[in-house]
């Protein structure tokens, strides 16, 4: 296996080749340029997505078998995992972040792309609760479209799986995807979820995390502040333009399609906890 060596904004990059299924042998190369506040937010997103996926895979149905069966997992082409907060009465929600990873043609899983959601609707929502939500995508065309599109919609109303493993398989066969929601350590049954939009967080997450890996550079202002930390698009673009003038380089935008061509084994070490869970998926 070809090894990839380099520093990556987002803490680090994998150094070495994979020799074990859990990736325990992988090491990291700290990047001194990463800003603490941005690193903390990115690490939180990775941690929450990892906990959500790990929690969903451990949920058992009434027959004490996994709700997401091995058969359902083998059908899965892409996984979207995030932690969301639900609130209000009947309809509620707020923005959140997560990770998306897809299977590679050569085998294994891709490096994860960072996602953001502009909002979501939840039926029968009362009070406030932190909930883990994972989407297992089995439809090949849908998976490819979501890998390449910067922003995409989940327009159909999907039921959270509330039964045994056969319910998961049936949902995936009918809808091309299965949605599982976990709250307080147990399956949250009988609730529908509709994401108003999901988008790859290109400028604020993917660009700084994968910029060096994909040879696009890491733009920063004259004071050393990373352009990706500017939340307003105008100021971020101005920062990039100034960096291009000073450096003589041309920024190559990081696209989600580029990330999904990378193996999880050569992804930034920052994403390792999420990748380790995916390595357990058949």
Pairwise CA distance, residues 28 & 220, whole Å? 23
Report which listed range, 4-8, 83-87, 200-204, 259-263, is most confident. 259-263
Each residue of 149-162: b (16+ CB within 10 Å) or e?
eeebebeeebbbbb
pTM score of the predicted model: 0.78
Pairwise CA distance, residues 96 & 165, whole Å? 28
Looking at residue 242, its pLDDT comes to 95
* Among the ranges given (30-39, 60-69, 86-95, 168-177), the one the predictor scored with the smallest mean pLDDT: 86-95
Q: Which of residues 96 and 82 earns the better pLDDT score?
A: 82
Q: How do residues 94-143 score in pLDDT, each as one tens digit?
A: 567 899 999 999 899 999 999 987 655 544 444 556 677 888 888 888 88
Q: Do 254 and 206 touch, CB atoms closer than 8 A?
A: yes
Looking at residue 11, its pLDDT comes to 31
The number of residues making up the chain comes to 282
């Amino acid at each position: 296996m070809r090894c990839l060596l380099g520093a990556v904004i987002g803490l680090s990059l994998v150094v070495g080749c994979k020799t074990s299924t859990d990736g325990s042998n992988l090491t990291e190369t700290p990047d001194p340029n990463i800003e603490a506040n941005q690193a903390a937010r990115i690490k939180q997103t990775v941690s929450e997505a990892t906990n959500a996926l790990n929690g969903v895979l451990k949920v058992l149905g009434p027959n004490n078998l996994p709700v997401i069966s091995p058969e359902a997992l083998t059908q899965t082409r892409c996984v979207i995992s995030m932690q969301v907060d639900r609130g209000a009465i009947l309809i509620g929600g707020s923005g959140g972040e997560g990770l998306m990873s897809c299977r590679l043609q050569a085998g294994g899983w891709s490096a994860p792309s960072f996602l953001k959601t502009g909002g979501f609707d939840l039926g029968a929502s009362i009070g406030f609760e932190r909930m883990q939500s994972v989407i297992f995508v089995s439809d090949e065309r849908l998976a490819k479209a979501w890998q390449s599109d910067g922003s995409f919609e989940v327009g159909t109303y999907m039921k959270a799986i509330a039964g045994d493993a056969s319910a998961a398989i049936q949902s995936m066969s009918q809808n091309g995807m299965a949605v599982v929601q976990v709250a307080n350590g147990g399956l949250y049954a009988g609730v529908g979820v509709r994401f108003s939009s999901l988008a790859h967080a290109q400028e604020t997450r993917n660009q700084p995390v994968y910029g060096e890996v994909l040879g696009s550079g890491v733009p920063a202002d004259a004071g050393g502040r990373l352009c990706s930390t500017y939340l307003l698009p105008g100021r971020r673009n101005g920062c990039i333009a100034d960096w291009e003038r000073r450096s003589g380089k041309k920024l190559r935008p990081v696209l989600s399609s580029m990330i999904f061509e990378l193996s999880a084994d050569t992804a930034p070490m920052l994403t390792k906890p999420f990748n380790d869970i995916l390595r357990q998926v058949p």
